[in-house]
Amino acid sequence: MALREHAGARVRIALVAAQQEFVERPMTVAEPFDRGTARRIPLERIAADFGATFIHAEAIGVNADATRVVFAGGESMGADTVIVAVGARPVAAFPDAVTFGLPGSGDAMRALLADLERGAVRRVAFVAPSLAGWALPLYELALMTARAVAASGSADVRLSLVTPEGRPLAIFGGEASETAARLLAAAGIEFIGDTHVDVRPGAVFLRRDGRSLAVDRVVALPLLCGPGLQGVPSTPSGFVRIDGHGRVPGRSGLYAAGDAADFPVKQGGIAAAQADAVAQHVAVRHGAPGEPAPFRPVLRGMLLTGDAPQFVRSVSRDRDAVVAWHPLWWPPTKIAGPHLSAYLFGRDLPEPIRPHACFIDVDVPLTAATLPG
């Protein structure tokens, strides 16, 4: 989307993917609670909407000079620019936990909610195994579970959230962290921070102080590993090394963006911002006017609580995040990206008024007077 916007007809684009659908993954967290549905759009349709060719294949690497993409079946295709956006590989951190994000985890969460409602489960720990990645879905799972438990009238349920973070949602800073702490407390969720854990049947062991929590079930986020692509310079954990424009050092024409890249925060809005930086640089290389802007991370988080969503935006470590109960960006999609947000939002609108590339940050509640265009 960004490359077509910045480069226009200067480039021919092929979208190669092992899967056939785009899934709005941040919204899958709401599905077990019947509080939202993730959009699922055929990639062939998206490619066609932006004048690209869709190729259904699994890319496993590039050749020595990064001029050919190698597929799992041994075939390959040529390109003068290759953009790696294959994502990270999620793996279960604990064998006895519901690892949200892996296949079947939505059904496992529905089963857990049913067990809580009938009293078969009373003690649940929500665990973040690592600081790397994106912890916000864990808070959403805990808060929406608490909401469901309260609505069902189940008694004597103990919910805990255990994380290596020193404070709730610490990545956003002071006010956002305090707000998250209040939401957890109001929902009756115990926050246990600044610790990694070991999980055994019936217990979560806190490495910080050696104590343990007796639990009936554990819900955890996955650990994220790099894709480890052949011929692509990567870190020891398999993530692709990039500079501020998404270029892979020492490999002309090779770029990376998103969760596959060596950036500690793995989040849709961050991936979209990286993609835009890559697209600008590629477009200028192919003759587009202007100076490409480097990637500048802005964290935008929509926290699903089981009630009204909480919006948080952080632009730098030196400034406290903005926290609000009204949208802080428009369109107010879960993935906040300059092109993807407008595309996803526009699909839900009638054809004559679908937006194209309208994405803005806002600081006041949106009304008829403040809505863009």
Q: Residue-wise pLDDT tens for the chain (373 aa)? A: 999 999 999 999 999 999 999 999 999 999 999 999 999 999 999 999 999 999 999 999 999 888 999 999 899 999 999 999 999 999 999 998 999 999 999 999 999 999 999 999 999 999 999 998 999 999 999 999 999 999 999 889 999 999 999 999 999 988 999 999 999 999 999 999 999 999 999 999 999 999 999 999 999 999 999 999 999 999 999 999 999 999 999 999 999 999 999 999 999 999 999 999 999 999 999 999 999 999 999 999 999 999 999 999 998 766 778 999 999 998 889 999 989 998 988 887 766 555 555 788 887 665 545 555 4
SS3 77: strand
DSSP string across 209-243: TS-EEE-SEEEEPPEEE----BTS-B-TTSPBP--
Enumerate domains of the chain plus CATH numbers.
2-88+226-285 (3.50.50.60), 90-223 (3.50.50.60), 299-361 (no CATH)
170, 161 Cβ separation under 8 angstroms: no
pLDDT attached to residue 347: 80
The dihedral formed by the CA atoms of 13, 18, 19 and 24, expressed in degrees to the nearest 10 = -70
pLDDT attached to residue 315: 85
254, 247 Cβ separation under 8 angstroms: yes
360, 329 Cβ separation under 8 angstroms: yes
pLDDT attached to residue 345: 86
How many CB atoms within 10 Å of residue 372? 11
H-type alpha helices, the chain? 2-7, 43-49, 105-117, 136-152, 174-186, 268-285, 340-346
pLDDT attached to residue 49: 93
295, 277 Cβ separation under 8 angstroms: yes
> For residue 178, is it left (φ>0), alpha (ψ between -120 and 50) or beta?
alpha
Using CA atoms, how far residue 309 sits from 37, 144, 204, 288, in Å, is 15, 11, 30, 40
Which of 313, 291, 305 shows the shortest CA–CA distance to 171?
313
pTM of the predicted model as reported, rounded to 2 decimal places: 0.93
pLDDT attached to residue 346: 82
CA atoms within 13 A on the CB side of 308: 6
pLDDT attached to residue 77: 96
